[in-house]
Structure 1
Amino acid sequence: MTVSPPKPPGIARWLDLMRLGPQNLAIIRSSTYLLVFLGVAKISGAAKEIVIASAYGTSALVDAYALQTALAGWPVALFTMTSGVVFIPLLVRLSRTDAERARAVFRTLLGWASVFGLVCAAGCGALFWLFSARLGYHSAFRQMGLLVAATIPFGILSAVLAARLLAARRQVGTLLEAVTPLVIIAAIAALSGWLDGTLVLGFGTLAGFVLATFALAYAQGGAASGLLPNLAGSRDLASQIGTAMLIALAAQMIFSLGGTVLDQIVAAQLSPGANAIVNYTNKALTLVTSIAGIVVGRAVLPVLSEAALSGSAAATRLARGWSLTALLLGTVLGALLFINADLVIGLLYERGEFSRGDVAAVSRALRAGIGQLPFLFGSLVLAQWIASLRRFELLLLANVAAVACKVAMLAIFIGSAGIEAIFYATTAMYMTSFGVLALFAFRRQPITGRDR
C-alpha cells in the first residue's frame, strides 16, 4: 500500500477550509452566474458608448452629457457601495428570523431611499440648471440636465431592490444592469431623426433607469403592496442601521479619497503627462479590480451573512478559506498581467496619438501597481466578512490605517521613485488593509458579531 506524502501544514489548512460544503458551493455557483451576467452588462455598456460616439462624436452635447451623468451617478454610486454592505446582512438576518419584520423594514428602506433620491435629484437638477446658464448652454442642455437628474431616485431605489435580491442569493439584478444601456441604444436608433440629440439622450437615459427599476421590482416576486415605500418603521430602521450606515459611509469615503483622488493630486505635482499615465494605468487596473469587487461583494456577502446566523466562528472559517483563495487568485492574475503588461496596454490604448513610448510608460506604471492585486482580492473577502458580522468600526480602522500607510509611503518615496511610487504606495495600502483585517480573521479567538 502506497502512502501519500504529507501536505505542508499551510496547504493542508487551506484545503480543509475550502472543502466543498454547501456554503462554498453556493459562492462558486453565484460567482459563475455573476461573471456571465456581468459580462452581458459590461458589453451592453460598451455598446452604448460606441453608439453615442458614432451618433454624436466629441461634440459639446457629449461633453455636457458625460459631465451630467458623472455628477448624477456619484450619489447613486456612493449609496450603492455603502448600502450593500449594510442592507444585505440586515435583510439576510431578518428574512431568516422574522419574515414579517423583514418586509416592513424593506418597505421603510424603500421609503427613505425615495426621500434621499428626490432630495439628491432636486439638488443636482438645480446645479445643472445654474451651471448650464453660467456656461452659456442653450435651453436644450438645461432640459437634458433635468432629465438626467431625474434618474437619481430610480438609481437609488434600484440599489435597495438589488440588495434584497442579493440577500436571497439571486443574481438576476446584475443581468438587469444591461437594461439602461440597451434602452439608450434603442432611443438613439429610434428617435435621432425626430428629436434633438439632447432630448434623445435625456429621455433615453431616464427611460432606461425607469425600466431597470421596474424590472428589478418585478424580479422581487410577491404582491405589489410589499414594494410600496413606507416611513412608518423609521425608528426601528434607525436602530438597526443608523450607526452602521454612518460608519460604513465614512470608511468608504476615506478609502475612495485615498485611491484615485489622492493619486491624481500627487501626480499633478510630478512631470507633465504624469496625470495621464496614472489615469490610463488606473483604468487598466480597474478593469480587473471592479469585476473582482462586484463578484466578491455579490457572491460572498450573502453567504457569509447566512453563516453568521450560526455564529461568528462559522462565518470566520468561511472567510479565512476564501480570503486565502482570493489571495492566490490575485497572485496568479498579477503574474500574468506582469508578463503581458506591454501587450495589454498596447491592445487597450495604442492608436492615434498614443505611441509606443506611451505604451512603455504606462506598462511600467502597471507593473508597479500589479502587487496590489493579491492583497486587494484578499481584503475584499475579509471586508465582506466584517460586514456580515456588522463590525463596521473594524473596517473603518483598517481603512484609516491603510490610507495613512499610503500617505506615508508617498511622502517618503515620491521624490526618488516618481510615478511608480504612487503604485507602490497603493500596494502598501492594500497590504495594510489586508494585514489589519487578517489580524482579526486569523486570531485564535474569533471576533463576535453584533446582533443589531
Structure 2
Amino acid sequence: MLTSAIGVLRKRLLNLHTDHRRIAKGALIVSLFVFLGKGAGAFKEMAIAQQYGVGSVVDAYQLALVLVTWLPLTLTNELSILLVPLFVRMRENKEELGEFVSEMETACLGLGIVLTGLLLLAWPFLAHVVAGNLSEQTRQMCFQLLLGLAVVGILSLTICISSARLQASGKHLNTLLESVPALVLLCCVLVLPTQGSLVPLMLGTSLGYVVQTALLHFSARSADSVRLRLRFSFRSPHWRSVFHSTSMLVFGGVFATLIPPLDQYFLAHVGDGAISTFGYAYRVLALLLGMGALAISRAILPILAEMLTAKDHVRARDTTFKWSLVMAAIGAIGAVIFWFLAPWIITLLFQRGAFTAEDSVAVTQLFRVGLVQLPFAFGALVILQLLVSEARYRMLAAIAVAIFVVKIVANIVLAPRYGAQGVVLATGVMAAANFACYLMCLRAPRRDGE
C-alpha cells in the first residue's frame, strides 16, 4: 500500500504544471539561501547576546537600527516588488534598461543621503517621543549609533535596485548576499574588544552593508549585462509609471513601515530590557518568516510577471490562490512544531555569557506568541505579489491603512495588559486581518482604476 501511495504521489508531482515546478524549485533555492543568511544572523545574535546580554547597549543598537532603516524601507518594501515585473518587461532592451537603472541608482543614492540627514536632524524630537522612557545613557548611545550607522540608510535603496535586477534575471543570489552584513558584524563582535563598546556594532553593521552593496552591484551586472553610470536626469519614459505606482504604494507603505517604530514606542514604555528581549525573539522569528514567506514570494514574483505580460490573468490568479493556501498550511504546521521546540532553540542560540536563563524564558515566551502570525504572513505575501503585479495600488493602500489601524488598536488594548507579549500578539492580529483582506481582494474581480 505504501509503495502504491508513493507511486501515486510521484505521478501527481510529475504531472504538475511547469509553472508550479518552477515556483517550487525557486522557493527551495531561496529557502536554502534564506536559511544560510538567517543562520548567519542567528550566530550574530548569539555573539551579541554573549557579549552584551539584555540591557541598554542592545536597546540602543536595535532602536537605532530600526530608526535608520525605517524611512528607506518605506520605499524599498514597495520598490522590491514593483521593479521586478518592470525589469522583466525591459530585459530584452538592454539600452533602455541601462538608462533607467542608472538614473534610478543615482536618484536613490541622493534620496538616501537626504532621508538619513533628516533623521539625524530630527533626533531631539525622536528622543523625546520614541525613547522618552529609556534612560539618558541609552538615548545618548542611540544617537552615537545613528551617526555610526548613517551609511546603512544611505545604501538601503541602491541595495533594493540591485536585488530586483537579480530577481528579474531569474537569479536568487541577492537572498544569499543578505547574510553579508550579519557575517561582517559577527566577525567584528568576536574580534574587536567589546566591554560595552559601541564600535564593534557600528563598524560591523556599516561595513557589512558596504560589502553587500558592492557584491550585489557586480552580481547584477553579471546577470543582466547592464553597466551603470551616474545620471542626474529623469529622461527614461518609465519614470512616469514608476512615480504613479510608487506614490500609491508608498502611501500604503508609510503605514507598514511605521509599525516597527510604533512597536519600539510601546516597548520603550514597558521599560528597559523590553526592546532587546523583543529583538532577540524577533530575530529567530524572522528566520522562519524568511524561509517561508520570503522564499515563496521571491520565487513566484518573476513567474507571475511573465503570466501577466502574456495577458494570462486567469492562470496567474489561480496559481496565486493555490500557493497562498499551501503556504498558509505550511505556516500553521511550522508554528505548532516550533512552539514545542522554542525553549530548546532559544537556549541553544542565546544562553551563554551575559545572557541568563531568565532571559531565555522571557525571549521564549515572546517567540511563542509571535508564531501566531506565521500562517497569515506566509499566505499574504504570495497574494501581495499578484496584487502589485496587477497594479491594484489603491486597494493595497486602503488595506495598509486598515491594518495599521488594527495594529494601533491592538497595541493599545494588549500592550498595557500583557507588556511586550501584547505588542507581539497585536502583530498576529494585524497579520490575520491583512490575510483576510488580501483573500477578499484576490477573489474579487479587478476593476478599472484600482
TM over 0.5: yes
Report the counterpart of residue 354 of structure 1 in structure 2: 358
Report the counterpart of residue 43 of structure 1 in structure 2: 39
* CA distance 1:374–1:114, shift in 2 (3 Å): same
Which letter does structure 2 place at the counterpart of 1:372?
Q
Instruction: Summarize the alignment of residues 201-240 of structure 1 with structure 2, pairs less than 5 Å apart.
Output: 202-221=202-221, 226-234=227-235, 236-240=237-241
Task: Provide, for residues 192-243 of structure 1, a one-character-per-residue CA deviation record: whole Å limited to 9, x for no partner.
Answer: 69xx966665555443322222211111235987211323335634312112
Say whether residues 1:29 and 2:30 are aligned partners: no
Say whether residues 1:255 and 2:256 are aligned partners: yes
CA contact (8 A) 1:389 1:449 kept: no
Which range is displaced more, 45-54 or 245-254? 45-54
User: C-alpha separation between the residues in 2 aligned to 1:430 and 1:302?
Assistant: 24
Q: Secondary structure at the match of 2:171?
A: coil
User: C-alpha separation between the residues in 2 aligned to 1:399 and 1:157?
Assistant: 25
User: C-alpha separation between the residues in 2 aligned to 1:199 and 1:347?
Assistant: 27
- So what's the TM-score if we normalise by structure 2? 0.74
Which letter does structure 2 place at the counterpart of 1:297?
S
CA contact (8 A) 1:323 1:377 kept: yes
CA contact (8 A) 2:75 2:157 kept: yes
Unaligned runs of 5+ in 2: 5-10, 128-135
Superposed displacement of residue 177, structure 1: 2.2
Instruction: Summarize the alignment of residues 106-145 of structure 1 with structure 2, pairs less than 5 Å apart.
Output: 106-124=101-119
Unaligned runs of 5+ in 1: 5-14
Superposed displacement of residue 164, structure 1: 0.9
Say whether residues 1:389 and 2:390 are aligned partners: yes
How much is the aligned-residue C-alpha RMSD, in angstroms?
4.8
Which letter does structure 1 place at the counterpart of 2:220?
Q
Superposed displacement of residue 437, structure 1: 2.0
Say whether residues 1:177 and 2:178 are aligned partners: yes
Task: Provide, for residues 362-420 of structure 1, a one-character-per-residue CA deviation record: whole Å limited to 9, x for no partner.
Answer: 27x935x5443322221111111111112122222223333445566678889999988
Report the counterpart of residue 102 of structure 1 in structure 2: 97
User: C-alpha separation between the residues in 2 aligned to 1:60 and 1:419?
Assistant: 16
* CA distance 1:278–1:207, shift in 2 (3 Å): closer
Aligned residues: 426
User: C-alpha separation between the residues in 2 aligned to 1:60 and 1:417?
Assistant: 22
Report the counterpart of residue 297 of structure 2 in structure 1: 297
Q: Secondary structure at the match of 2:170?
A: coil
Superposed displacement of residue 66, structure 1: 5.1
CA contact (8 A) 1:264 1:275 kept: no
Q: Secondary structure at the match of 1:395?
A: helix
CA contact (8 A) 1:402 1:428 kept: no
* CA distance 1:216–1:356, shift in 2 (3 Å): closer
* CA distance 1:201–1:357, shift in 2 (3 Å): closer
Task: Provide, for residues 49-76 of structure 1, a one-character-per-residue CA deviation record: whole Å limited to 9, x for no partner.
Answer: 4556667778987776555444333334
Which range is displaced more, 421-430 or 224-233? 421-430
CA contact (8 A) 1:250 1:396 kept: yes
* CA distance 1:410–1:119, shift in 2 (3 Å): closer
CA contact (8 A) 1:72 1:148 kept: yes
Report the counterpart of residue 73 of structure 2 in structure 1: 77
Report the counterpart of residue 86 of structure 1 in structure 2: 82
* CA distance 1:425–1:209, shift in 2 (3 Å): closer
Q: Secondary structure at the match of 1:236?
A: coil
Superposed displacement of residue 284, structure 1: 5.4
User: C-alpha separation between the residues in 2 aligned to 1:417 and 1:128?
Assistant: 29
User: C-alpha separation between the residues in 2 aligned to 1:435 and 1:158?
Assistant: 31
Q: Secondary structure at the match of 1:232?
A: coil
Task: Provide, for residues 247-305 of structure 1, a one-character-per-residue CA deviation record: whole Å limited to 9, x for no partner.
Answer: 22222332344578369639958x99998987776565444234434223322222212
Q: Secondary structure at the match of 1:20?
A: coil
User: C-alpha separation between the residues in 2 aligned to 1:99 and 1:331?
Assistant: 43
Superposed displacement of residue 434, structure 1: 2.2
Report the counterpart of residue 11 of structure 1 in structure 2: none
User: C-alpha separation between the residues in 1 aligned to 2:400 and 2:217?
Assistant: 34
Q: With CA pairs under 8 Å and 6+ residues apart, which has the higher RCO, 1 or 2?
A: 2
Which range is displaced more, 330-339 or 169-178? 330-339
Which letter does structure 2 place at the counterpart of 1:229?
L
User: C-alpha separation between the residues in 1 aligned to 2:145 and 2:361?
Assistant: 40
Task: Provide, for residues 421-451 of structure 1, a one-character-per-residue CA deviation record: whole Å limited to 9, x for no partner.
Answer: 76665444333322222223234xx427999
CA contact (8 A) 1:391 1:449 kept: no
Q: Secondary structure at the match of 2:230?
A: coil
